[in-house]
Amino acid sequence: MGDNVAAVNLIDKRKRLFILDVFERLIKQKPLGTVGGVITLIFLLTGIFASVIAPAGVNDVTSEVLRPSSTAHLFGTDHLGRDVFSRVVYGARISMVVGLSAAALSIVVSLIIGIPSGYFGGKLDMIVQRFVDAWMFFPDIVRLMLLMSIVGYGMTPVILMIAVGMGIPGSRIIRGAVMTAKENMYIHAAQSIGCSTWRIFVRHVLPNIMAPIVTLFSIRVPNAILAEASLSFLGFGIPPPAPSWGSMLTGGERDNVLLAPMTIVWPGLALTIVVYGVNIFGDALRDLLDPSLRGGVGRFGIGDKIKKKEVIS
Amino acid sequence: MRTYIIRRLLLTIPTLWVASLLVFFAIRLVPGSIVDLMASEMTFFTNTDRTIIEERLGFDVPSYVQYFRWMGFIPDKDGKFNGLLQGNLGISLWRNAPVTEEIAARWPITLELGFMALIIAQIIALPIGVFSAIRQDSAGDFAARSFAILCIAVPNFWLGTLVVVMPAIWWGWSPPLMLIRFGDDPVGNIKMFLLPAIVLGMSLSGITMRMTRNMMLEVLRQDYIRTAWSKGLRERAVLIRHALKNALIPVIITVGIQVPLVIGGTVIIERIFALPGMGGLIVDALQTRDYTIVSGVLLIFGAGVAVINLLIDLTYGYVDPRIHYK
């Protein structure tokens, strides 16, 4: 009993140290990634505490229309007299919720399609992959427009459809990883001692494809944020008056842009910074967490050697 | 090689068929049918009118019969085969013109925009990617990598809107939002497409830039590069003739993957720059439930991607003799 507790404590300690270790290496080795991490953190905090940060409500209409930036309205006001800063802050919440949940769900979709397809192979794989092929023939945004027309506009549909729309192409990556993983001896061992297929999936395949899953997730979050904004911009996403960063670039804001140009600058700038930050943060984490990428060219220092022409020696 | 092409083409057939199923039935799942939309535009509307409209549009038969007719497997009401297999995509439900004609008037615009954007993307991406790799971990490399991610991060609809709007505010000039046909004025045509193509190309270049950098880094470690250095070749010869040439092979694949991205981008860019291409057509058609147009445009998009993917696969074998087609 006592031993068990000690073992658990040890595991806890190691886990904590691992996270600290990653954190330390992030700051030391990845200055860009650290910047991305800070941006991501600010973005998440803004999303969570939007109601505390925003000085005005999302749709508080006032008579102060199309004002430039001032102390009262940090980013000015739009054509309905709404405070643009508050709307951008609330927009972070929409982007955060859509980005995280759509990315997570898209992984689930990818796993549901990719694991059986890669594991069983054969006819099932052949048929499933033709559907995935056909799906991938169409541009992302066009597929999503079509899906959104079918299920109707709004927050939940956007999340679900982005998850489906991105999950199906993502299944290719999962399928590939599963096909490699299933050739391992431990999978054969599990099969021969009579493990159920489900058990093999969950206990043996899944843990061994964590690296591509993490990678895929870190790519999907900024992708989903951008996809939602693009859809809302085209009028197929979250309809106004919800403060989506995409829809804030069209409609009344766009019509009055010559009078108040900054109203369309802020939401786009916020979107750019967030997608930028999440991207470089994800990149850095991927490098740090994936051992197969470690100790590559960077450590080898080939760049310096080329500069000094040391390669010849 | 020949067997490979034949096999590839044969594999494309079931995929295209599944794609035709998807494009035909997916749009029919959209709630609020076109008949309802047409009805809402008429003041007096009876059920007889509904039957007449349905019959005129060919909706009076079950949807699978509609599909077979659309595909050209079974004859239309007039007894003629008039479907996809006969090179016909049906009649636009609102515009009352053949879909093929509608598309024919618009595809050159989308193609030109997409093609120019792809070229511009490579012009931006390749030099920066190579520079970034040979000066790895230098300040320039950091700047180049940041720029690459920035290209990916900047939403093209925002950049496009700014490009249209901001010059008007600053200098009282805005890019011309009208179409100049290539036949009328080739220079004016290129000039008109340049801005939208740069906006679209920027967002594409980020991916290629990163890919080029990674591939260059990998190739620069190879033995043959060491040999090239020790032969006393000039830096330029080593980098361009020995390293870049090999590093570019996987980059070609990236360009192939980007083709759907380019098409998706043209939908947005065409809207912002008011270009009458296929993107605008499909957005309108989706909103007005013009089923035949949506299916037709989607099918053309899909077929375009399929053809380009095939071409990319073949180019891959051409530029990399190590690849053998089986």
- Decide if A137 and B305 are in contact by the 8 Å CB cutoff: yes
- Are the C-beta atoms of residues B208 and B126 closer than 8 Å to each other? yes
- For B63, the enclosing helix (H) or strand (E) is helix B63-71
Question: Mean pLDDT, 10 residues at a time, over chain A (313 residues)?
Answer: 58 65 80 89 92 82 77 79 88 94 96 93 88 83 89 91 92 90 89 91 88 87 93 89 87 76 88 93 80 43 41 33
Question: Token pair for residue A156?
Answer: 């939940």
Alpha-carbon span B48 to B142, nearest angstrom: 69
The H or E element that residue A127 is part of is: helix A122-136
Domain map (residue ranges) of chain B: 2-81, 104-288
**Which has more confidence, B123 or B254?**
B123
Report domain extents, chain A.
46-60+88-312
Q: What is the DSSP string of B100-169?
A: HHHHHHHHHHHHHHHHHHHHHHHHHHHHHHHHHHHTTTSHHHHHHHHHHHHHHHS-HHHHHHHHHHHHHH
Q: What pLDDT does residue A312 have? A: 33
Dump pLDDT digits (tens) for B205-242. Answer: 988 898 888 888 888 888 888 888 888 888 888 888 88
Range list of β-strands (E), A159-287: none
Block residue for tokens 């009344």: A252
Q: Judge whether B157 is closer than 8 Å to chain A, CB to CB.
A: yes
Query: What value does the mean pLDDT take over residues B301-320?
Result: 80
Q: For B300-309, write each residue's pLDDT tens digit.
A: 888 888 888 8
Q: What is the pLDDT of residue B185?
A: 77
Q: How far apart are the first and last CA of chain A?
A: 60
B263: nearest CA in chain A? A139
CATH 1.10.3720.10, applies to A46-60+88-312? yes
What residues in A contact B155, CB-CB < 8 Å?
A: 226, 229-230, 233, 246, 268, 271-272, 275
Round to whole Å and give the CA distance between B128 and B151.
12
Nearest-CA distance from A100 to chain B in Å?
17
CATH 1.10.3720.10 fits B104-288, yes or no: yes
